Structure 1
Amino acid sequence: MVYQISLSETNPEKDISKLPILSTTEQQKLLIEWNHTQTDYPKQACIHQLFEAQVEKIPDAVALVFNEQQITYKDLNSRANQLAQYLQILGVGAEVLVGICVERSIEMVVGLLAILKAGGAFVPLDPAYPQERLAFMLSDTNVSVLLTQKDLVSKLPTHNASVICLDKNWDAIFQNSQDNLTTNVTAENLAYVMYTSGSTGTPKGVCVIHRGVVRLVKETNYAQLTDNEVILQLAPISFDASTLEIWGCLLNGGKLVIAPPHTPSLEELAQIIQHNQVTTLWLTAGLFHLIVDEKIEALKSLRQLLAGGDVLSVPHVQKFLQTVENCQLINGYGPTENTTFTCCYSITAPLQPGASIPIGRPIANTQVYILDDNHQQVAIAEVGELYIAGDGLARGYLNRPDLTAEKFISHSFDDNSPTRLYKTGDLARFLPDGNIEFLGRIDNQVKIRGFRIELGEIEREIAQHPEVRENVVLALQQETGEKQLVAYIVPHQHSSYTHNQLRSFLQQKLPNYMVPSAFVLLESMPLTANGKVDRHKLPAPSRERPQLEQAYIAPQTDLERQLAAILGDLLKIERVGIDDNFFDLGATSISILQVTARIQQELSIELPAVKLFQYSTIGALAKYLQLKQNSQPAYDKLQNRAQRQQAARSRRRHHQQGV
């Protein structure tokens, strides 16, 4: 393709890199036609105000379902108002940050809504996070009030906030008025601060305003969000998919079905979808692939399925399209900095072998630009960096003005009207039909189960271990299409380094989804001619049993051998001992769901995923299954409180936030 560049007669000294190289037709398409996404939505309204409008409209409609509990829009509004009044007494108002560390429950939604009604902004704190990470987030936000549950209080790090237990302190809260509150909060005020992985080695808090959320869920064009929808709330509130689930439902009059606090098995998830007649579901790419493989029948009742957070597998999409009728499959893309979704693509036509699935076009009230290194538009089909503009943009990063200025830039495409852009670091290109193809990252960032991860953050934590001299972390593609975090370790000479020791060290510092599932020991790093680590020459993880503290003990019974075979096959490990902890072998929440599905398929035993957190070795699991088959009611009664508490601790420790 040949481009003509005309030097301006009125400004002959202008930098040639700033001159447009696109034809007028291309500029019209890229700047105007493909970015014409404006809709008439309530851009001046706040989240809680739009919820209150639904309460006026449908007060007796069911708003929340949790296990056997139900609560109407009117009752949810009343409870949230009482808590909001209580929060205002404690000083919560506009721009005041309030921590919330709770398991999935009705109280969780009451807490989120109450914080917004009081005028504040919530800071979601995942109970599964290590104390060190929670301590950083509490310190960075300096929250003065923290909503939690009584069983979680002792698990929290030291802090200075006033604690409100949502399952304990209602006697005082119930004394307050049930009427809606009046605040001076506007659509420009903070709604929440959500933390993502940081390239500097510490998490960064993304500051999202009310308008960003409203733009996501009101008068939008990528999905049907109406009062007829039944939406499953499955994502942790520390993951921005929950923004779509919760507010996409409640601001449009739908019914929100809250999943249990533990990680449900595929069978349990299928039962929840079918029993509650869920119509709209959001899944990470990894969980979508797993359900398509193991429980695709459960998806047949859906009208809409949104999947994303990573690249979708074409074979899995093909299988879905061929099996599930009358359900719209939508590929969603977007960073937390642009409030959950930026682009969406409705997948309808059969896909050709070798095809990739586009991320589609910008959703309503969003603009997307693909620029070169000089911030100039690249031609259609040319590769550049994806930049985002529009009403979904976050305010910036909490307490990080330098990073905010680096990532949120002011740019003018016509020398007259500056536009605020977010620099994503993603490579992409426009296809001739106006859809966008995602082509990977510019930097060292990856996505695992929907979470953005800076590999440098993991490497910096590993480097803090006293036995480690050098390390590199890669995200390797597995046969299933999922990514696996692999850490390559060069220990100090004469050190007593073990993989198990390092894994335990990292579990105290990083969320579980950031802890590598495989470790490779090296004498030295392979180097390029320039002396840099040659990542292409790093070996794939071995199928051998990893180095563990406990000695290998072979399975003894038929059941133990069957379980070991299932786990070994899924984790790509040749030998699994009866005392080997599943998570020390590299199991994740996705592989745990795969294990439970395989056990049901091959052994005809229904096993909740939570049991693999409680009985996390072949030996313990085999004994449980044997006793369960012999006398399940009697055995269940024998489980003491200590065992149940240990199970809860294990679930929180190993819970994977992308599922």
Structure 2
Amino acid sequence: YATDLFEAQTIERIADALRRVLQALVSDTDRRLADLPHAVSSLVAEQPQDFACTDFLSLWQQGLRAGRGKTALCVGQQVLSFDELETRSNQFARYLHAQDIKPGMTVALCLDRSVEWVISLLALLKLGAVYLPLDSAQPAERLQQLVRDSGTVLLVHAPEDDKAARLGVCPVLAFDAALWAAVDNQSLDVRVLPGQAAYIIYTSGSTGQPKGVVISHGALANYVQGVLERLALNDGASMAMVSTVAADLGHTLLFGALASGRTLHLLSHEQAFDPDGFARYMAEHQVDVLKIVPSHLQGLLQAANPADVLPGQVLILGGEASAWALIEQVRALKPGCRVINHYGPTETTV
């Protein structure tokens, strides 16, 4: 074992626990794995925890109450309050409902990080529909493959996105708020169950072929509540998202902000890859929490004022392995910033 990581007593406890489990297995070969007792209770860090909310819509209502009168989204010069986000997503949900979009149907969103993107995904969740995020920068052939494989019934795209409009696989809708501006802004009476699908994320898969991973409302709600509990943020802490919408890396802060009534900054592609511009934005807006891929962060730390690149309270790294040298650099630049390594498979919810 790695002696620089573990003490001998720790390895002895693990080995003893393994022996006990193996003895239980061979003594009763018909016993189900789920029925095996814990080998050593002291090795169990904590018992499973049940959270209050079992679907994301319940969490959104919680965030809406906490965010009354506060800013929900900052995207360039656009600022949207929680009340406005509730109203606009309700209107779009009702419009889609009138277009015969029903619970369980998959709707693709070919939209970049934007106010329109958040309104759309929230509207779909309120409908009980399943949202599939697509990266508009990907080739048309890739987008067509994902739309076909997912059984998408409608694709929502930016008005200027001619590529998405011409995919030709399913009906398309250019996002135009004027179409539903006069629609009732009250929420729909839709019940969402914990086991109901919330979204689909496509990964490369072990074979290199795209693989759609379906995540339920219950799994999403459990994840978000667990993350917020562990972050234990100060009141008023804001968050920033810089990752592609087609991956779930950004879901930590997207759904974390919506569920807790916090401001979410959505940075443009240009801002996200301009070291000095990014540093200025983070410092000017005093962003408290950032989640980012380590290699992306390394590039941004080339800024003239690298400490300004880092958030005020918590830095979350994910999407790829983190090097100790990067962690040490972050700690030297901003000693008060907590660093969390959040690297796992999409199948286990982010």
TM range (shorter): 0.7 to 0.9
Q: Name the counterpart of 1:186.
A: 193
Q: Name the counterpart of 1:240.
A: 248
The Cα of 1:271 is off from its aligned counterpart by 1.6
Instruction: Choose which of 28, 50, 56 in structure 2 pairs with 1:47.
Output: 56
Instruction: Choose which of 272, 285, 302 in structure 1 pairs with 2:281.
Output: 272
Structure 1 residues 25 and 129: CA distance shift in structure 2, 3 A? closer
Structure 1 residues 28 and 339: CA distance shift in structure 2, 3 A? same
Check whether the contact 1:100–1:146 (CA below 8 A) recurs between aligned residues: yes
Instruction: Choose which of 202, 205, 210 in structure 1 pairs with 2:209.
Output: 202
Check whether the contact 2:213–2:347 (CA below 8 A) recurs between aligned residues: yes
Structure 1 residues 225 and 51: CA distance shift in structure 2, 3 A? farther
Structure 1 residues 154 and 253: CA distance shift in structure 2, 3 A? same
Whole-angstrom distance in 1 between the partners of 2:348 and 2:29: 33
- Matching of residues 448-463 of structure 1 within 5 Å: none
Instruction: Choose which of 144, 147, 158 in structure 2 pairs with 1:135.
Output: 144
Structure 1 residues 230 and 14: CA distance shift in structure 2, 3 A? closer
Q: Name the counterpart of 1:307.
A: 317
The Cα of 1:240 is off from its aligned counterpart by 0.6
Q: Percent identity?
A: 24
Q: Name the counterpart of 2:219.
A: 212
After TM superposition, the score normalised by the length of structure 1 is: 0.46
**Deviation string, structure 1 residues 144-193 (Cα, Å, up to 9, x no partner):** 11111111133455334332222xx3222112111111113212211100
Residue 260 of structure 2 aligns to a residue in which SS?
coil
Structure 1 residues 75 and 95: CA distance shift in structure 2, 3 A? same
Question: Is 1:67–2:76 an aligned residue pair?
Answer: yes
Of the structure 1 ranges 241-250 and 86-95, higher mean CA displacement relative to structure 2 is found in 86-95
Residue 222 of structure 1 aligns to a residue in which SS?
helix
**Deviation string, structure 1 residues 434-476 (Cα, Å, up to 9, x no partner):** xxxxxxxxxxxxxxxxxxxxxxxxxxxxxxxxxxxxxxxxxxx
Whole-angstrom distance in 1 between the partners of 2:78 and 2:324: 39
The Cα of 1:8 is off from its aligned counterpart by 7.5
Structure 1 residues 154 and 219: CA distance shift in structure 2, 3 A? closer
Question: Is 1:258–2:266 an aligned residue pair?
Answer: yes
Instruction: Choose which of 78, 81, 84 in structure 1 pairs with 2:90.
Output: 81
Check whether the contact 1:43–1:187 (CA below 8 A) recurs between aligned residues: no
Whole-angstrom distance in 2 between the partners of 1:9 and 1:117: 47
**Deviation string, structure 1 residues 498-545 (Cα, Å, up to 9, x no partner):** xxxxxxxxxxxxxxxxxxxxxxxxxxxxxxxxxxxxxxxxxxxxxxxx
Q: Name the counterpart of 2:154.
A: 145
**Deviation string, structure 1 residues 288-339 (Cα, Å, up to 9, x no partner):** 3333454522145511111122222222212221221221111112110011
The Cα of 1:122 is off from its aligned counterpart by 0.3
Whole-angstrom distance in 2 between the partners of 1:82 and 1:6: 55
Check whether the contact 2:67–2:82 (CA below 8 A) recurs between aligned residues: yes
Whole-angstrom distance in 2 between the partners of 1:256 and 1:6: 46
Structure 1 residues 25 and 37: CA distance shift in structure 2, 3 A? closer
**Deviation string, structure 1 residues 399-446 (Cα, Å, up to 9, x no partner):** xxxxxxxxxxxxxxxxxxxxxxxxxxxxxxxxxxxxxxxxxxxxxxxx
Check whether the contact 1:225–1:252 (CA below 8 A) recurs between aligned residues: no
Structure 1 residues 199 and 54: CA distance shift in structure 2, 3 A? closer
Whole-angstrom distance in 2 between the partners of 1:10 and 1:131: 52
The Cα of 1:6 is off from its aligned counterpart by 11
The Cα of 1:215 is off from its aligned counterpart by 1.5
Structure 1 residues 132 and 60: CA distance shift in structure 2, 3 A? same
The Cα of 1:276 is off from its aligned counterpart by 1.3
Residue 342 of structure 2 aligns to a residue in which SS?
strand
Residue 48 of structure 1 aligns to a residue in which SS?
helix
Check whether the contact 2:132–2:201 (CA below 8 A) recurs between aligned residues: yes
Check whether the contact 2:73–2:115 (CA below 8 A) recurs between aligned residues: yes
Whole-angstrom distance in 2 between the partners of 1:153 and 1:41: 43
Gaps in structure 2 of 5+ consecutive residues: 1-11
Instruction: Choose which of 114, 122, 125 in structure 1 pairs with 2:123.
Output: 114
**Deviation string, structure 1 residues 236-277 (Cα, Å, up to 9, x no partner):** 111111211211111001001110144531111112211211
Q: Which one has the bigger strand percentage? A: 1
Residue 103 of structure 2 aligns to a residue in which SS?
coil
Question: Is 1:327–2:340 an aligned residue pair?
Answer: no
Whole-angstrom distance in 1 between the partners of 2:164 and 2:241: 24
Whole-angstrom distance in 2 between the partners of 1:326 and 1:10: 47
Whole-angstrom distance in 2 between the partners of 1:128 and 1:8: 54
The Cα of 1:194 is off from its aligned counterpart by 0.5
Q: Name the counterpart of 1:591.
A: none
Structure 1 residues 319 and 75: CA distance shift in structure 2, 3 A? same
Structure 1 residues 265 and 186: CA distance shift in structure 2, 3 A? same
Gaps in structure 1 of 5+ consecutive residues: 19-23, 341-659
Aligned CA-pair RMSD: 2.9
The Cα of 1:57 is off from its aligned counterpart by 4.1
Structure 1 residues 293 and 28: CA distance shift in structure 2, 3 A? farther
The Cα of 1:54 is off from its aligned counterpart by 2.8
Of the structure 1 ranges 223-232 and 1-10, higher mean CA displacement relative to structure 2 is found in 1-10
Whole-angstrom distance in 1 between the partners of 2:150 and 2:264: 29
Q: Name the counterpart of 2:107.
A: 98
Q: Name the counterpart of 1:285.
A: 294
**Deviation string, structure 1 residues 72-127 (Cα, Å, up to 9, x no partner):** 10011100000000111122222111100012211111111111111111001111
Whole-angstrom distance in 2 between the partners of 1:337 and 1:155: 27
Residue 251 of structure 1 aligns to a residue in which SS?
helix
Structure 1 residues 9 and 39: CA distance shift in structure 2, 3 A? closer
Whole-angstrom distance in 1 between the partners of 2:89 and 2:24: 64
Check whether the contact 2:197–2:217 (CA below 8 A) recurs between aligned residues: yes
- Matching of residues 437-586 of structure 1 within 5 Å: none
Whole-angstrom distance in 2 between the partners of 1:11 and 1:300: 52
State which structure, 1 or 2, has the greater radius of gyration over its C-alpha atoms.
1
The Cα of 1:9 is off from its aligned counterpart by 11
Residue 129 of structure 1 aligns to a residue in which SS?
coil
Q: Name the counterpart of 1:637.
A: none
Matched AA of 2:251: T
Check whether the contact 1:292–1:320 (CA below 8 A) recurs between aligned residues: no
The Cα of 1:231 is off from its aligned counterpart by 0.5
Structure 1 residues 234 and 37: CA distance shift in structure 2, 3 A? farther
Q: Name the counterpart of 1:170.
A: 177
The Cα of 1:25 is off from its aligned counterpart by 9.0
